[in-house]
């Protein structure tokens, strides 16, 4: 048996609403709404929510599987390289006489230096592997075909830029391995007929490996290429959102009447 | 018109009835303004992009470092049947990185005369830069050969390729004798007949046959005297 609650004292009773008065907004509700109202404030002035919806809530084909995550994995490898690279640049000194010493200082003396440098070093290898896997996925799934040819072309440019990134970054620790690998790499560039000799002069900043070679590689590695890569990743992602992803090729064989799209 | 096609428009703005048209004027003001704005934009971009490109490539491609003659020892230090190693500074101001080993000996009767003559009359200074991809070769006296550790390039006593991937004999340095001292100058390249190419080529650039045309001399050839 349920007993009725004792009556509240008059002072604690909620005051009845006066006629004509709007519902008062309580502070707790204001806090709850703060996030939404901030987003609303921005959206009212930018209309970004439409773009965000367009990018994120896309129809994806049936059969989408784990292989489709290789592109995102590559993107995160790049983000990891960008972040660790920015912080390595705070300690690194790209001069011929101090580069090796500053790299040694990062590894041996800076707090977490070995970890961050290791992330950048091994991350570069991971990124090259992921880029190649992503490219293989695209190739074997036939995802380079009409209308996605341009995205394939952008992807190939990104692949080359990733390799140039690896090549220019390899010199920066400035140990024996870096030095001789760069000598060999620049000379390979020099084997191109007619333009080769001038290309290798341009890379070295002169006829001999000199004081400017290292700073030249450093500028290419941390200013020129990241900008180009970020711009091209933007174009790459725009085209993915614009054109959508492909169904895996084995689904075509199963159903004769084309592939149903499902809203996920 | 009966067939629905329009009469082609006159190229003169006056004929087209544009307000304020001049006699003989063919470019509309809209087109003129568009071209002006595009042109101004192109000039503004070129004003910073071209100097930046020239800055990046100019001195890298066109600077010609002056040659400094470096004494490496007395004439009696160098026999004609083996090489004596010497360390010289090829690029000044960058510490150990700018140094390189060279192998020096006196010219003997088996050597062809210097071609063209004028330098290297008495001594031959051989570079240790492998002509495959630039690794450092080392002279092995027992074998009388230069051996490259990277990809197995082998050169005979004169520096000619005997095996492996190198495409031409080892580079040399100009030598002269001054006050009883042997002095070395700039690097130069040779083809398989030891003809001197003062504009030295990078490794892997052939100097025989079609190679001498595929790999032209660089603008940054060292300035002799």
Whether A216 is in a domain gets the answer yes
Enumerate the residues of chain A whose CB falls inside 8 A of the CB of residue B59: 205-206
Say if residues B126 and B172 touch (Cβ distance below 8 Å).
Answer: yes
Q: Kindly state whether residue A128 falls inside one of the protein's structural domains.
A: yes
Q: How far apart are CA B84 and CA B77, in angstroms?
A: 8
Instruction: Note whether residue A198 is domain-resident.
Output: yes
pLDDT, residue B3, reads 61
Whether the per-residue pLDDT at B69 is higher than 90: the answer is yes
pLDDT tens for each residue of A53-85: 999 899 889 889 999 999 999 999 999 999 999
Give residue A6's pLDDT band: very low, low, confident or very high (50, 70, 90): confident
Question: Per the structure, how many domains does chain A have?
Answer: 1
Q: Residue A104: give its domain's CATH number.
A: 1.20.810.10
pLDDT number for residue A153: 98
H or E stretch at A163: helix A149-171
- B94-125 residue pLDDT tens: 888 899 999 999 999 888 888 888 888 899 99
Nearest chain B residue to A184 by CA distance is B133
Q: What is the pTM of this model?
A: 0.84
Q: Cβ-count burial of A20 within 10 angstroms (0-12 exposed, 13-18 middle, 19+ buried)?
A: exposed
pLDDT exceeds 60 at position A186: yes
CA A210 – CA B39 distance, rounded (Å): 40
ipTM strictly over 0.95? Answer: no
Query: Within a domain: residue A255?
Result: no
Q: Do B94 and A210 touch (CB under 8 A)?
A: yes
Cis geometry, peptide bond prior to residue A219 (ω within 30 degrees of 0): no
Q: Confirm or reject contact between B54 and chain A (CB < 8 A).
A: no
| Structural domain boundaries enclosing A155 | 61-244
For A19, A63, A208, A262, B95, the CA distances from A257, given in Å and listed in that order, are 64, 16, 65, 15, 72
Residue at A56 is within a domain: no
B56 touches chain A (CB under 8 A): yes
Asked if B95 lies within 8 A of A97 by C-beta distance, the reply is yes
**Confidence grade of residue B20 (pLDDT, cut at 50, 70, 90):** confident
Asked if B133's CB is within 8 angstroms of A188's CB, the reply is yes
Residue A88 lies in a domain: yes
Domains of chain B in sequence order = 1-62 (no CATH), 70-214 (2.102.10.10)
- DSSP conformation class of A220: I
Neighbouring residues of B62: CB distance < 8 A, sequence distance ≥ 6 = B219, B220
* Residue A124 maps to a domain: yes
Q: Give yes or no for a contact between B166 and B130, defined as CB atoms under 8 angstroms apart.
A: yes
Q: Indicate the residue of A190, A207, A212 with minimum beta-carbon distance to B220.
A: A207
Indicate the residue of A184, A193, A212 with minimum beta-carbon distance to B134.
A184
Within-domain flag for A31: no
The 10s digit of each residue's pLDDT in B157-197 is 999 999 999 999 999 999 999 999 999 999 999 999 999 99
pLDDT of B225 above 80: no
A201 touches chain B (CB under 8 A): yes
């Amino acid at each position: 048996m349920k007993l009725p609650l004792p009556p509240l004292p008059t002072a604690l009773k909620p005051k009845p609403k006066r006629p004509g008065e709007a519902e008062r907004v309580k502070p707790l509700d204001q806090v709850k709404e703060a996030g939404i109202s901030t987003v609303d404030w921005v959206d009212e002035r930018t209309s970004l929510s439409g773009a965000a919806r367009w990018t994120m809530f896309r129809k994806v084909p049936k059969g989408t599987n784990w292989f489709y995550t290789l592109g995102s994995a590559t993107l995160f490898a790049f983000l990891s390289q960008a972040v660790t690279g920015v912080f390595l640049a705070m300690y690194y000194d790209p001069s011929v006489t101090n580069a090796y010493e500053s790299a040694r200082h990062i590894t041996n003396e800076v707090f977490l230096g070995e970890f961050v440098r290791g992330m950048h070093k091994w991350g570069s290898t991971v990124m090259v592997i992921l880029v190649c896997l992503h490219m293989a996925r695209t190739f074997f799934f036939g995802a380079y075909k009409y209308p996605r040819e341009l995205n394939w072309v952008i992807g190939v440019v990104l692949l080359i830029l990733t390799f140039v990134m690896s090549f220019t970054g390899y010199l920066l620790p400035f140990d024996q391995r870096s030095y001789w690998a760069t000598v060999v790499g620049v000379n390979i560039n020099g084997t191109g007929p007619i333009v080769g000799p001038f290309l290798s002069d341009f890379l070295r900043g002169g006829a001999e490996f000199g004081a400017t070679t290292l700073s030249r590689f450093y500028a290419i590695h941390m200013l020129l290429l990241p900008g180009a890569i970020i711009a091209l990743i933007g174009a790459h992602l725009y085209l993915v959102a614009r054109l959508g992803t492909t169904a895996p090729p084995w689904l075509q064989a199963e159903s004769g009447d084309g592939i149903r799209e499902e809203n996920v | 018109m009966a067939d629905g096609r329009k009469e082609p428009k006159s190229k003169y703005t006056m004929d087209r009835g544009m307000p304020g048209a001049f006699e003989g004027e063919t470019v509309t003001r809209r087109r003129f303004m568009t071209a002006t704005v595009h042109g101004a934009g192109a000039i503004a971009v070129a004003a910073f992009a071209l100097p930046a490109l020239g800055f990046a490539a100019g001195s890298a491609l066109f600077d010609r470092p002056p040659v400094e003659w470096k004494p490496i020892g007395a004439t009696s230090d160098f026999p004609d049947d083996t090489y004596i190693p010497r360390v010289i500074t090829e690029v000044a101001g960058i510490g150990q990185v700018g140094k390189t080993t060279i192998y020096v000996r006196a010219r003997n009767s088996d050597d062809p005369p210097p071609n063209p003559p004028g330098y290297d009359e008495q001594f031959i200074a051989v570079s240790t830069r492998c002509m495959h991809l630039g690794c450092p070769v080392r002279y092995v006296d027992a074998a009388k050969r230069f051996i490259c550790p990277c990809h197995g390039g082998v050169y005979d006593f004169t520096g000619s390729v005997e095996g492996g991937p190198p495409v031409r004999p080892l580079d040399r340095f100009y030598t002269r004798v001054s006050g009883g001292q042997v002095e070395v100058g700039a690097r130069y390249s040779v083809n398989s007949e030891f003809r001197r190419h003062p504009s030295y080529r990078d490794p892997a650039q052939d100097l025989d046959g079609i190679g001498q045309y595929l790999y032209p001399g660089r603008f940054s050839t060292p300035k002799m005297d």
